[in-house]
């Protein structure tokens, strides 16, 4: 029950609904047990004693009891469902909030399909047991207790015979639970992997088709699908093995009961109506006991689902705010003081002893081969990761001194791969601050050279975009992403290869527009094209996580170092292309 104890905070606040549901369940169960008593009275009092005048009274009593049962069933089920739905609302909200605060390090290893499975399937599995499983377990307990009480009233020896079968059923049920819980854990994990396969395939369909890898993807999906099938069949095999065994024990008990009960009737120790009622009551005990396997099945699924939910809820937050943080305007003075960053423990460092100073309003260019640490530097500024050693300072304060929202609302970040939401262009540009006026949105779009193509679209700024900006070219998506960064009027601007998806002419226009935007702002430009950062006040050339060279464009060209090699490769290639064109 440790899993349920840890998740208690999400369902216990609505316990009144739960206990209200159980309150009405008592009436439902009691009314159920009354039916055999009415049957016994009809046989022994009406039929055997020929007192048929009692039939109308018995009918009225039975009708009233069934009416009470009907109303009680309604409120029991309604309150139980409401209890479960409120849990779903609270737990999904908590999971979603948790996903918002988890660091990039968590998402580096997490799989989207698996997370979706937890938020949908695992929440549903746990909720089903809360809404149905707990009440069914209570119903079984009450039905057994009420039935036993009536049975002992009719015949103590016959009731003891009935109880003799219960330990055997309990042993079988216990062994069933020991096997079925890990089996359902395997099913949940396999389903998460299956969802991941589907999500990755749909997201990367362009790549799959362009490389004709449909057969390979079908094979990968078939493998995951087969794993899910095998684990589900294994669980079904456990179910198929133990359920008939439980039913067999129940049937043996019923046969023994019928034989012994018949003897008691013949010897006038028991009336015929009492035996018939007794036989009905026996199935009110054995039936629920056999149904206990189904409840344990649901309990095991809920437990497995709850454990997967707790894995997310209890995930350590690598980027945590201090108890007291500062909320002051940021000027944009960025300093790295002997910073080392390692993503994975005992792995090679992504950054090694990096130090530099970027005063407010300066433009810093970052260039180097893939994996040299360019993006890692900018992600430390926004505290997407924490440095292993050294300090990252903004305005002479450690970045951890600022609240995360305070820090990030002063930093405009254009990611290397632009991401747009499936909403209007206006909402995408104003995403960082939904309160900004339309004039500011349009101004940001003009600066990013996006206004003209936006106005050519059917609904202008109100044009709805498809998933991930579907319907726009790579360059258009990138320009809207740049407009979004500009719109919040940041003190620090980070352009992570922000013009890589646009043609040379558009790149030139964007750079001209950004010159005005960069004034007074500390700007970091990550680029592979030297043309994108020639105008930088200082260029840092990175190799294997270290600053190999630093200086202006002209200074670096005189060093005969890494920057010179990059320059020669790019411009020699350009000259070769021009010569071939001529």
Helices (H), 410-457: 425-429, 438-447, 451-455
Question: Which of 313, 344, 375 is a domain's end point?
Answer: 313
The reply to whether 430 and 455 lie within a common domain is yes
| Residue-level pLDDT at 509 | 66
pLDDT for 224-247, tens place per residue?
A: 888 888 888 888 888 788 778 777
What is the rounded distance in angstroms from the CA atom of residue 14 to the CA atom of residue 327? 37
What is the rounded distance in angstroms from the CA atom of residue 567 to the CA atom of residue 569? 6
pLDDT at 271 exceeding the cut of 50: yes
The reply to whether 444 and 546 lie within a common domain is no
pLDDT for 489-548, tens place per residue?
A: 889 999 887 666 566 676 676 676 677 677 788 999 988 878 778 888 999 999 888 999
- Work out the burial of residue 492: count CB atoms within 10 Å of its CB; fewer than 13 is exposed, 13-18 middle, 19 or more buried: buried
Q: Taking a C-beta distance cutoff of 8 angstroms, is the pair 124, 89 a contact?
A: no
At 266, list the tokens: 């013949």
This prediction has a pTM of 0.70
Q: Is residue 575 part of a domain?
A: no
- Domains contained in the chain, number: 3
Does residue 24 or residue 283 have the better pLDDT? 24
User: In sequence order, what are the beta bridge partners of 392?
Assistant: 336
Q: Is residue 574 part of a domain?
A: no
pLDDT for 348-367, tens place per residue?
A: 888 999 999 999 989 999 99
The reply to whether 30 and 110 lie within a common domain is yes
- The range of the structural domain enclosing residue 118 comes to 2-313
The reply to whether 172 and 232 lie within a common domain is yes
Q: Is residue 362 part of a domain?
A: yes
- Indicate the average pLDDT of the chain: 83
For 23-27, the CB contacts below 8 A with 24+ separation are 24/72, 24/73, 24/75, 24/76, 24/79, 25/72, 25/76, 25/135, 25/138, 25/139, 25/142, 26/142, 27/68, 27/69, 27/72
Q: Is residue 565 part of a domain?
A: no
Q: In which residue are the tokens 């209570």 written?
A: 138
What is the rounded distance in angstroms from the CA atom of residue 268 to the CA atom of residue 293? 38
The reply to whether 130 and 13 lie within a common domain is yes
The reply to whether 344 and 297 lie within a common domain is no
CATH number of the domain that residue 443 is part of: 3.40.50.300
The reply to whether 387 and 273 lie within a common domain is no
Q: In which residue are the tokens 């350009």 written?
A: 574
Question: Which of 256, 281, 313 is a domain's end point?
Answer: 313
Q: In which residue are the tokens 């013009």 written?
A: 499
The reply to whether 352 and 260 lie within a common domain is no
Q: Is residue 510 part of a domain?
A: no
The reply to whether 425 and 496 lie within a common domain is no
The reply to whether 484 and 496 lie within a common domain is no
CATH number of the domain that residue 83 is part of: 1.20.1560.10
Residue 344 is given by DSSP the state: S
The reply to whether 383 and 435 lie within a common domain is no
Mean pLDDT computed over 573-579: 49
pLDDT for 389-421, tens place per residue?
A: 999 999 999 999 998 888 888 888 887 777 888
Q: Is residue 245 part of a domain?
A: yes
At 450, list the tokens: 């996006």
Q: Is residue 562 part of a domain?
A: no
Residue 465 is given by DSSP the state: P
Return all residues near 117 (Cβ < 8 A) that are at least 6 apart: 188, 191, 192, 195
The reply to whether 124 and 192 lie within a common domain is yes
């Amino acid at each position: 029950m440790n899993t349920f104890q840890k998740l208690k905070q999400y369902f216990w606040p609505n316990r009144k609904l739960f206990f209200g549901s159980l309150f009405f369940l008592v009436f439902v169960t009691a009314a159920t047990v009354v039916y055999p008593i009415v049957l016994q009275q009809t046989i022994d009092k009406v039929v055997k004693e020929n007192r048929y005048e009692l039939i109308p009274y018995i009918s009225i009593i039975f009708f009233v009891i069934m009416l009470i049962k009907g109303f009680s069933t309604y409120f029991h089920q309604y309150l139980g469902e409401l209890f479960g739905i409120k849990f779903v609302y609270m737990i999904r909200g908590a999971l979603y909030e948790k996903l918002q605060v988890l660091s990039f390090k968590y998402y580096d290893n997490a799989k989207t399909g698996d997370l979706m499975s937890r938020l949908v399937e695992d929440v549903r599995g746990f909720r089903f047991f809360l809404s149905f499983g707990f009440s069914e377990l209570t119903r079984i307990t009450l039905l057994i207790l009420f039935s036993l009480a009536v049975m002992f009233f009719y015949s103590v020896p016959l009731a003891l015979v009935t109880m003799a079968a219960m330990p055997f059923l309990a042993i079988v049920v216990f062994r069933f639970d020991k096997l079925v819980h890990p089996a359902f854990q395997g099913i949940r994990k396999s389903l998460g992997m299956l969802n991941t396969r589907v999500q990755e395939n749909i997201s990367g369909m362009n790549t799959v088709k362009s490389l004709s890898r449909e057969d390979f993807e079908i094979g990968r999906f078939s493998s995951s699908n087969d794993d899910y099938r095998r684990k589900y069949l294994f669980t079904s095999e456990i179910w198929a093995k133990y359920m008939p065994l439980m039913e067999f024990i129940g049937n043996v008990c019923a046969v023994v009961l019928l034989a012994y009960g018949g003897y008691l009737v013949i010897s006038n120790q028991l009336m015929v109506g009492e035996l018939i009622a007794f036989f009905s009551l026996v199935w009110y005990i054995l039936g629920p006991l056999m149904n206990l396997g189904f409840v344990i099945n649901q309990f095991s699924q809920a437990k497995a689902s709850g454990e997967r939910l707790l894995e997310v809820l209890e995930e350590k937050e690598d980027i945590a705010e201090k108890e007291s943080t500062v909320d002051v305007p940021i000027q944009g003075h960025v300093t790295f003081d002997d910073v080392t960053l390692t993503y994975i423990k005992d792995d090679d460092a992504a950054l090694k002893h990096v130090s530099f100073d970027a005063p407010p309003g300066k433009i810093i260019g970052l260039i180097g081969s893939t994996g040299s640490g360019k993006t890692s530097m900018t992600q430390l500024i926004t505290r997407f990761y924490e440095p292993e050693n050294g300090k990252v300072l903004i305005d002479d304060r450690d970045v951890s001194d600022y609240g995360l929202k305070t820090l990030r609302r002063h930093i405009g970040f254009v990611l290397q791969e632009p991401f747009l939401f499936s909403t209007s262009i206006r909402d995408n540009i104003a995403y960082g601050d939904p309160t900004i006026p339309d004039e500011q949105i349009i101004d940001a779009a003009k600066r990013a050279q996006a206004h003209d193509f936006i106005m050519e679209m059917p609904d202008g700024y109100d044009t709805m975009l498809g998933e991930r900006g579907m319907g726009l070219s790579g360059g258009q998506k990138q320009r809207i992403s740049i407009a979004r960064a500009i719109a919040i009027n940041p003190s620090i601007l980070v352009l992570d290869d922000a013009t890589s998806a646009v043609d040379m002419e558009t790149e030139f226009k964007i750079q001209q527009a950004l010159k005005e935007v960069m004034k007074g702002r500390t700007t970091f430009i990550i680029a592979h094209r030297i043309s994108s950062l020639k105008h930088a006040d200082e260029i840092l050339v990175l190799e294997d996580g270290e600053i190999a060279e630093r200086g202006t464009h002209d200074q670096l060209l005189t060093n005969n170092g890494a920057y010179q090699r990059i320059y020669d490769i790019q411009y020699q290639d350009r000259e070769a292309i021009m010569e071939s064109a001529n």
